[in-house]
Structure 1
Amino acid sequence: MNERDFADLAAGHALNALSDADERAYQEALAGHPQWELHVRRAADAVAAISDTIEPVEPPASVRASLFARISELPQEQPAFAADPLESDAEDFAAAGPAPVDPEADVPRPAASFGWGRRRWFTLAASVAAVLVLGFGAVTVGQLMAPPAAVVALEQIEQAPDARSASTTMADGTVATAHWSPSTGQSVLVTDGMPALASGTTYELWFVRGETPIAAGTFEPDADGKAVAVLDGEMHAGDVIAVTIEPAGGSPDGTPSTEPVVAVATA
């Protein structure tokens, strides 16, 4: 089992959606690879976040039926490392089309071990549907549990041998920390306490190179003013990472409209 497959199992474990066989495989893999514990924490945190932020809703029966039909149409990988003997002799249900679904029926639970193929993904996706209302979108467990790109970039920077950071605290109490790594070519700004903005405005990132500001993308902090934002473009040594308040969508002419509300010197 590779790390990606374990991450999928960790998502299923957090959702209490694994068969007995997959639960055993999950526990054995975790015992053999304790460094994969981070996937367990991520999955648990994601499920907790969902339960904390989504109000319980009773979906109409038609949503459940439509969701199951969409799941049956999703393409699934068939990894070569773990062939499922039941899959090899099974009817090609994808070619035959989705089977009729009784909206009032209980979610089916396979009695036998089902490997890493279509049936495991079906069970996981059905469990996600029990946690929140997905509407009619095709959402996979991997997409749900995947960390944001900015978090991934921050982890890559922190793990790089040339990782560097610099922090500043502004007069209003905002704390901003820039993280960067020349070897990864990435830079990230982490904020805490950014003030809420008026409607129709956004925060915009800049590399200030000498006297020249270079736009590097926009971001929106959460209700606590926290954000992890990747800067677009290449950072140069000595750049100041700045944040201004701009119209929604960013500066219309590519230059700052206000004085910086955050400025982090990296030299």
Structure 2
Amino acid sequence: MSEKDLDELLAGHALHALSPDDQTRLDEALAGDPALADRARRDEETAVFLADAVPEVAPPARIRDELLARIAAEPAPALSDEDAAPEPEAAAPARPMRRVWFTLAASIALVLAVGIGVASIAQMLDRPEAVVALERIESADDAQSASAEVAGGGTLELHWSPSTGEAVVVADGVPVLDEGSQYELWYVRGETPIPAGVFDGGSDAPTLLEGEMAPGDVVAVTVEQEGGSPTGTPTTTPIVAVPSD
């Protein structure tokens, strides 16, 4: 049995998601390997601990729809000549295909059991966290937005929600900087600028600000060296500032 097969069997076993045949195969392997049996026990304990330690989170309906769409789009594995035309009385589901579905089911069960946040699920579906955060903000009852013109061209749109504490910016038409420079975001809280991440121009992809936005913050942008200001404070005059009041 390969290490990959063993990992899949142990994962399914910890979540009680194995078929009878696969459970039998794993039981046989566990019976002859005390270290493996101990690993299986620890995996089960970990799954129980995670399920008990984290509050249940009801995933949005769209997450379920996307997962089901992925399942439907998953191509069936190619069959060998040996498996292509079994005798009717000997026909049985191919173990590799069955393993795919049980492993996928186990993964989905783990996601729901441990209450992984929407952002983490979205990353599994190849959706940027900023996109998910923007959707989360826009669906909040207290969602707000504002925009301002950027010196040098383009517009900065700010989207935020006090209840989530999150803020996302969309830089529309903001030009690309010279190599070695980046735009840096700041929460300006009173007179204090707080670093909130960097982004490149030339794209209207949303950017999730780092840290939590507070009521009354102004979101400003300066041009800094790549990676952000080395001093932790702005080194240039802001090219745009968007108030959240």
- Tell me the TM-score normalized by structure 2: 0.56
The question of 1:243 aligning with 2:221 is answered yes
Preserved contact between residue 151 and residue 239 of structure 2 (Cα < 8 Å): no
- Cα pair 2:122 2:132 within 8 Å, conserved: no
Letter paired with 2:178: A
The 1:251/1:160 distance shift into structure 2, 3 A limit, reads same
The Cα of 1:118 is off from its aligned counterpart by 3.9
The 1:153–1:70 alpha-carbon spacing in structure 2 relative to 1, beyond 3 Å, is farther
Deviation track 1:143-166 (CA, whole Å, cap 9, x = no partner) reads 663312212221221121111111
| Runs (5+) with no aligned partner, structure 2 | 34-76, 80-92, 107-120
Aligned twin of 1:87: 22
Query: What is the deviation of 1:203?
Result: 1.4
Separation of aligned partners in 2, 1:226 and 1:94: 53
- Paired position in structure 2 for 1:114: 98
**Percent of aligned positions with the same letter in both sequences?**
46
Q: Which amino acid aligns with 1:257?
A: T
Measure, in 2, the Cα distance between the counterparts of 1:93 and 1:175: 64
2: distance between equivalents of 1:211 and 1:164?
A: 23
AA aligned to 2:98 is F
Partner of 1:231: 209
Give the direction of change, closer, same or farther, for the CA distance of 1:147–1:240 in structure 2 (3 Å limit): same
**Would the alpha carbon gap of residues 86 and 150 (structure 1) be closer, same or farther in structure 2, given more than 3 Å must change?**
same
Asked whether the 8 Å contact 2:172–2:203 carries over to 1, the reply is: yes
- Count of residues in correspondence between the two structures: 169
Which residue of 2 is the match for residue 200 of structure 1? 180
| Corresponding residue of 2:165 | 185
Does the 8 Å CA contact 2:137/2:159 hold for their aligned counterparts? yes
Work out which of the residue numbers 127, 149, 154 in structure 2 matches 1:174: 154
Structure 1 unaligned segments of length 5 or more: list them: 1-68, 97-106, 122-140
Deviations 1:92-132 (A, max 9, x none): 79989xxxxxxxxxx654746616334899xxxxxxxxxxx
2 CA distance for matches of 1:256 and 1:212? 10
1:171 and 1:220 map into 2 onto residues whose CA distance is 15
CA distance in 2, matches of 1:71, 1:82: 17
> Could you tell me whether the CA contact under 8 Å between 2:122 and 2:128 is conserved in 1?
no
> Which residue, 164, 179, 203 being the options, matches 2:144?
164
Rate the CA distance shift 1:169–1:86 in 2: closer, same or farther, 3 A: farther
Deviation at 1:80, TM superposition (A): 4.6
- Computing the radius of gyration from Cα coordinates, the structure with the larger value is 2
CA distance in 1, matches of 2:161, 2:11: 34
CA distance in 2, matches of 1:187, 1:118: 36
Deviation (angstroms), 1:86: 3.4
TM-aligned CA deviation for residue 87 of structure 1: 2.0
Contact 1:181/1:187 (CA < 8 Å) preserved in 2? yes
- Quick check: 2:169–2:207 contact (8 Å CA) kept in 1? yes
In 2, Cα distance between the equivalents of 1:90 and 1:152?
41
Distance 2:126 2:182 in 1: 26
Contact 1:150 1:229 in 2 (8 A): yes
Residue 84 of structure 1 aligns with an amino acid whose one-letter code is: S
Question: Cα distance 1:93–1:245, how it changes in 2: closer, same or farther (>3 A)?
Answer: farther
CA 82–190 in structure 1, closer or farther in 2 if over 3 Å, else same: same
Q: Is the alpha carbon distance of 1:91 and 1:198 closer, same or farther for their aligned partners in structure 2, counting shifts above 3 Å?
A: same
CA distance in 1, matches of 2:241, 2:152: 13
CA RMSD of aligned residues (A): 3.6
